[in-house]
Amino acid sequence: MKENRNEYFEKYNNRTHLLGRVFTVIVLVLLVGAPFLIGAVLGASPDLGAVGRGFLSVGLIWTISSVVEFLIYTPMLGAGGSYLAFITGNLINMKIPCAVNARDMAGVKTGTPENEIVSTLSIATSSLVTIVVLALGVLLLQPLKGFLQSPALQPAFSNVVPALFGAMAYKYFRGNMKIAIAPLLLMSILFMLVPSLTGSTSMMIIPSGALAIGISYLIYRKQK
Amino acid sequence: MSVIATLNSLPLYLICGAIIAFVAVICLVFMVRAYRAGVKMGMDEKVLKRVMTSSATFSVLPAVGILLGVIALSGSLGLPWPWLRLSVIGALHYEAQVAQGAAEHAGIGGLSPESMTVSAFTTIALLMSICIMWGMVLSVLFNRGYLKKIGIKNPEETALNKKSGFGDMAMSAMFIGLVSAYIGSYIGSFVSSEGLFTFKGDFLPLIVVLVSGLVMAIFVYLSEKKKKAWVDNFSVAASMLVGMTAAVLINLL
C-alpha cells in the first residue's frame, strides 16, 4: 500500500513538472506575443529599442526580485503551487499568505507530499477566485466604478497589505516571539534611520528572513 | 476614435480574455489533479474541501483590491490590458511602477491618457511583460532541480504525524521575516518619512496592522478556547475587512 502510494505520488509529481513546464512556456509565449498581436491589429508595433532601454533601467531590479522570489517561494509552495503562483502572480499580497494559511489549517508540513497537494489546491483556488472577481469586476465596472473609486473607500484599498500582514503577524508572532523580535526590531530601526528604503521593502525581506531563519536554527539546535 | 477608446475595443478584450481563460483552465487542471491525488493518497476529503473554502474566502478581499489596481491603470492603458496583467503574473505593486517607467522610455513622458499613443501602448505592454516574466522562466528551467536539491522528501519519510525537521521551521521563520520587513517599513515610514524621528508620517497602515491583528486574536481565541474551529475559514479575510474598515473610519475623523 505504502509502495503504491509512493509510486503514485512520484508519478503525480513528475506529471506536475511536465504540465507546469508546458503550461508556463505557453503562457510566456502568449504574454510576450500579445503586445505584438495587439500591435498588428492596431497597426503599431512595439518600439524594441525603447523596450531594451526601459528594461535596462526599470527591468533589472525586477529581474533580481524575481530570482529572490523564485528561491524563497518555490520551497514554500512546492512544485504545482509554485508553477501556478509564478503564472498567476500576486505572490506576496495573496498567494503566499493564502498557501501558508491553508498549510496551517490542514496541519501539513512544508516539503511533504501532503503540503504539495494542499499548496496546489490553495493557489489554484485563490487564482480562480481572483480571475472570477476581476472578470466580474470588469464586466460590472461601470456601475461599480463610482462605488469603488469613491474617495471614502480609498483608504481601505490602500491598506489591503497592512491588513493582511496584521492578521498574519498575530498568527505567526504569538508562538514565535523569540524568532520575531530581532527581525522586527532590526527592520523598524533600519526603516526609521533610512526611510527611503520603504521603496525597496521587498528586497529587505532577504536580510530580515535570513535573520529569522538564523535565530530559528539556533533554537532548533538547542531543542535537539 | 480616441486612443483610450481604441485600447478598450473588442479585439483587445478578445485577446486578453482568451489568455485569461487559458490560465483559468490551467488552474482548474491543477486543482482537479491535486484534489484527486489527495484523495488517492488517503487525505481527508473534508480537509481538502476546507482548504479550498478557506483559500477562496481568503482571496476575495485581496482580489477586490487588485480590481482597484485594474481600475486605476485603466485610465491610461484602457481596461483589457490591466485586466490581463493583474489576472495573470502581475502584482499590484509592480504594474504601476513599470508602466510609468515604460511610458517614460516610450517617449510619452509618463502614464497619461492625453499623451498615450498606440505605439507607446504596445511598447509599454511588451516591457511590462518582459520585466516580470523571470519567475516563470526560472520555474521552467530550475523548479524541478531546485526542489530536488533542497529535498522534497519521500512520502514514507514525511507522513502527517511525523515530527517535522528544520525545513518547516525555516519556512515559518522566512514568513516571520517577510512580515517583520513590512511592519518595520510601516513603523519607519510613520516615524521618519517626513524627516528623521519627526513622527509625522502616515500612521494609517500601523493602525490597520494593529486592528486586524487584534481581530485575528479574537478569532484565535474563539477557535482555540471556545472550540469554534469553523471561524478559521474566515478569520484572515474578516480580520482584514475590519482592519480596512478601520482605515476608512479613521480617515473620516
Of all residues in chain B, the one with the smallest CA distance to A211 is: B177
Q: Mean pLDDT throughout B88-105?
A: 72
In this complex, is the C-beta atom of A77 within 8 Å of any C-beta atom belonging to chain B?
no
Is pLDDT of A147 > 80? no
CB distance A80–B34 less than 8 Å?
A: yes
Helix or strand (DSSP H, E) at B203: none
Q: What is the CA radius of gyration of chain B?
A: 22
- Average pLDDT over chain A reads 87
Instruction: Describe the crossing of helices B45-77 and A160-173 by its angle, rounded to 10 degrees.
Output: 150
Segment A144-165 shows an average pLDDT of: 75
Residue B140 near residue B148 (C-beta atoms within 8 A)? no
- Calculate helix-pair angle for B134-150, A2-42, nearest 10 degrees: 170
Q: Is residue A145 very low, low, confident or very high in pLDDT (cuts 50, 70, 90)?
A: low
**pLDDT at position B160, please?**
39
A68 and chain B in contact, CB less than 8 A: no
**Taking the CA atoms of chain A, what radius of gyration do you get in angstroms?**
21
A77's grid cell: 509552495
- Residues A110/A76, Cβ–Cβ less than 8 Å: yes
pLDDT at residue A16 is higher than 70: yes
Q: Are residues A163 and B30, on separate chains, in Cβ contact within 8 Å?
A: no
**Nearest CB neighbour to A5, from listed B155, B165, B191:** B155
The string of pLDDT tens digits covering residues A96-114 is 889 988 998 898 988 889 9
Q: Is the ipTM of this complex over 0.85?
A: no
Of the ranges A65-74, B51-60, B223-232, which is most confident?
A: B51-60
Mean pLDDT over residues B133-143, rounded? 94
Query: What confidence tens digit (pLDDT) does each residue in B159-204 have?
Result: 434 445 676 687 778 889 888 998 999 999 999 999 999 999 999 9
- Give the span between the Cα atoms of A71 and A176, in whole angstroms: 23
pLDDT at site B1: 66
- Which residues in chain B have Cβ-Cβ distances shorter than 8 Å to A168? 175, 179, 216, 236
Chain A partners within 8 Å of B181 (Cβ)? 183, 187, 201, 204-205, 208-209
Residues from chain B that touch A75, judged by Cβ atoms under 8 A, are 146-147, 150, 167, 171
Interface test with B, best of A1, A170, A204 (most B CBs within 10 A): A170
* Cβ–Cβ below 8 Å for B185 and A135: no
Judged by CB atoms closer than 8 Å, whether chains meet at A83 and B30 is answered as: yes
Q: Kindly tell me if the per-residue pLDDT of A198 is higher than 60.
A: yes
State the average pLDDT over residues A198-218.
85
Domain residue extents for chain A: 175-224
Domain parsing of chain B, residue ranges: 3-150, 163-252
Q: Do the beta carbons of residue B12 and residue A40 sit within 8 Å?
A: no
Whole-number percent of chain A with pLDDT over 70? 93
Q: What does A109-156 look like in DSSP terms, one character per residue?
A: -TTSHHHHHHHHHHHHHHHHHHHHHHHHHHHTHHHHHHHHT-GGGHHH
Report pLDDT for B142.
95
Looking at residue B97, its pLDDT comes to 64
pLDDT band at A13 (very low <50, low <70, confident <90, very high): very high
B108-123 pLDDT, tens digit each: 876 677 788 999 999 9
Q: What percent of chain A has pLDDT over 90?
A: 50
Average pLDDT of A9-18?
94
Q: Which band of pLDDT confidence, cut at 50, 70 and 90, is reported for residue B124?
A: very high
The per-residue pLDDT for A202 is 65
What are the DSSP calls for B181-238, one per residue?
HHHHHHHHHHHHTTSTT---S--HHHHHHHHHHHHHHHHHHHHHTS--GGGGGTHHHH
